[in-house]
């Protein structure tokens, strides 16, 4: 499943100066995204340090051939869907070629560097777009600590519903309202009714929350009626990003009985613009943590020994909050929580296998949210619902301000990094958005 090759070599450095030791995008990462230069149309690119490598310009300069050219052509347009639909062979060929082109000891370096004005754009001059045309977006519920924290209010003795350890629970959400990082989200109006109120009313959300999630980008799809077997499910993952499933808790709490989330969730979601590929993540695969004693073994269509051995990821996540008060005092964003993708109860392959097990067809560019990834203690709670105990516990920021839910003008920022001894650390860039 995980191929580790010269592209992951921690000694490999790029001739792109800003990429050396870059916290997010060293030469070992090479994530894909869609960007526009200051004057130009949206196109596919690869982040390298503080620069973006322009795949269209690379094709025009004749830098790719064979499978790598096929993948670069598929990645060079206004969406990455054609690249996502390809098998891992061409993707790996493109990754190897990009790594070789950007490598400081590349024999072609002088020729490539001479082209750098065409090939590279300063990322700060560019606008990032959604990386794909998202046909369908599904939100899972695989963060078990979040699921348990949410269920505690319902039934403290049985916070998890009886299906939780058998079914990777999910709901279909709204693809059309997903926005790239940096686009402000408007506080939704809706019908809400607090338990203390006699009647519902319509008005602005009073419990606006964020949810710290992984963005899971589907690669090659499956035909309707043909389930993806668990042993092949990993081949259908293109890569990962960060996802904020903005949630209007008061609207959600009133409307969700009995059909689940609707207007409390679909008014806007934020996704990070760079997709860290399964190839880049190969060194950071880990075993799926063993289920606690007494938990059921997944049914056979969700069980695969290889997936259990290396199907999880070790990705450190953090959620930060920037407020006007912090900004006025020159203070940095307040760190709200830190958690890890090993806090997920289900692997990505299990989510893919489950989603298609009834024959449902997935397509390249489909997006999954993992579900809120909370750690086991308060320090890891990935939503304000959990941190503030549904608004009953105030969180004090370094500015002296307090929060229970998100206020207008607040900006929520997610970051993620993979770190492991003997590997170059890589990051995901930011997933950020301000509430207006
Ligand atoms: Ca969610």
Per-residue pLDDT at 142: 94
How far apart CA 41 and CA 34 sit, in angstroms, is 10
CA of 120: how far to CAs of 64, 102, 127, 203, 307, in Å?
A: 16, 11, 14, 47, 38
Per-residue pLDDT at 329: 97
Identify the structural domains of the chain with CATH numbers, from first to last.
6-129 (2.30.30.230), 137-434 (3.90.850.10)
Give distance in angstroms: CA of 22 to centre of ligand 1. 30
The residue ranges of the chain whose pLDDT is under 70 are: 1
Please choose, from the candidates 432, 421, 427, 420, the residue with its C-alpha nearest in 3D space to the C-alpha of residue 25.
427
Give distance in angstroms: CA of 362 to centre of ligand 1. 19
Per-residue pLDDT at 349: 98
> Which residue among 121, 146, 334, 355 is the active-site one?
146
Give distance in angstroms: CA of 205 to centre of ligand 1. 17
How far apart CA 97 and CA 65 sit, in angstroms, is 9
How far apart CA 293 and CA 125 sit, in angstroms, is 53
Could you read off the pLDDT of 96-152 as tens digits, one per residue? 999 999 999 999 999 999 999 999 999 999 999 999 999 999 999 999 999 999 998
Per-residue pLDDT at 115: 96
Give distance in angstroms: CA of 229 to centre of ligand 1. 25
Per-residue pLDDT at 1: 56
Whether 129 is catalytic is: no
Decide: 312 and 288 in contact? Cβ < 8 Å.
Answer: yes
Please choose, from the candidates 426, 48, 406, 434, the residue with its C-alpha nearest in 3D space to the C-alpha of residue 249.
406
């Amino acid at each position: 499943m995980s191929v580790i090759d010269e592209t992951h070599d921690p000694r490999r450095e790029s001739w792109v100066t800003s990429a050396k030791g870059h916290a997010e995008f060293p030469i070992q990462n090479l994530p894909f995204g869609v960007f526009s230069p200051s004057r130009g149309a949206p196109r596919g690119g690869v982040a390298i340090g503080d620069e973006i490598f322009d795949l269209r310009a690379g094709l025009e300069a004749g830098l790719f051939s064979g499978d790598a050219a096929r993948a670069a052509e598929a990645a060079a347009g206004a969406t990455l869907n054609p690249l996502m639909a390809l098998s891992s062979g061409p993707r790996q060929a493109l990754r190897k070629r990009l790594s070789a082109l950007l490598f400081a000891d590349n024999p072609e370096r002088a020729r490539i560097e001479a082209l750098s004005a065409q090939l590279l754009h300063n990322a700060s001059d560019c606008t990032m777009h959604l990386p794909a045309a998202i046909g369908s977006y599904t939100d899972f519920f695989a963060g078990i600590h979040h699921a348990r924290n949410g269920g505690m209010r319902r039934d403290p003795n049985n916070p998890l519903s009886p299906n939780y350890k058998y079914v990777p629970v999910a709901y279909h959400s709204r693809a059309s309202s997903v926005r790239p990082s940096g686009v402000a989200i408007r506080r939704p109006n809706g019908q809400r009714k607090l338990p203390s109120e006699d009647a519902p009313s319509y008005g602005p959300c009073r419990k606006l929350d964020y949810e710290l999630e992984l963005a899971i980008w589907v690669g090659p799809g499956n035909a309707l009626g043909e389930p993806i077997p668990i042993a092949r499910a990993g081949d259908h993952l293109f890569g990962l990003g960060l996802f904020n499933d903005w949630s209007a808790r008061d609207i959600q709490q009133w409307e969700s009985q009995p059909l689940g989330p609707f207007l409390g969730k679909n008014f806007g979601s934020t996704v990070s613009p760079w997709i860290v590929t399964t190839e880049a993540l190969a060194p950071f695969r880990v075993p799926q943590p063993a289920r606690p004693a007494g938990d059921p073994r997944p049914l056979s269509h969700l069980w695969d020994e290889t997936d259990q051995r290396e199907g999880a990821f070790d990705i450190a996540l953090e959620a930060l909050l920037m407020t006007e008060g912090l900004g006025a005092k020159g203070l940095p964003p307040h760190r709200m929580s830190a958690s890890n993708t090993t806090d997920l109860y289900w692997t990505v392959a299990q989510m893919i296998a489950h989603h298609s097990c009834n024959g449902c067809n997935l397509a390249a560019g489909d997006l999954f949210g993992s579900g809120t990834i909370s750690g086991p203690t308060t320090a890891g709670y990935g939503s304000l619902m959990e941190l503030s105990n549904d608004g009953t516990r105030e969180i004090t920021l370094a500015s002296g301000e307090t929060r229970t839910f998100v206020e207008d003008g607040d900006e929520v920022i997610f970051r993620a990094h993979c770190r492991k001894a003997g590997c170059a650390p890589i990051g995901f860039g930011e997933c950020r958005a301000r509430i207006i």
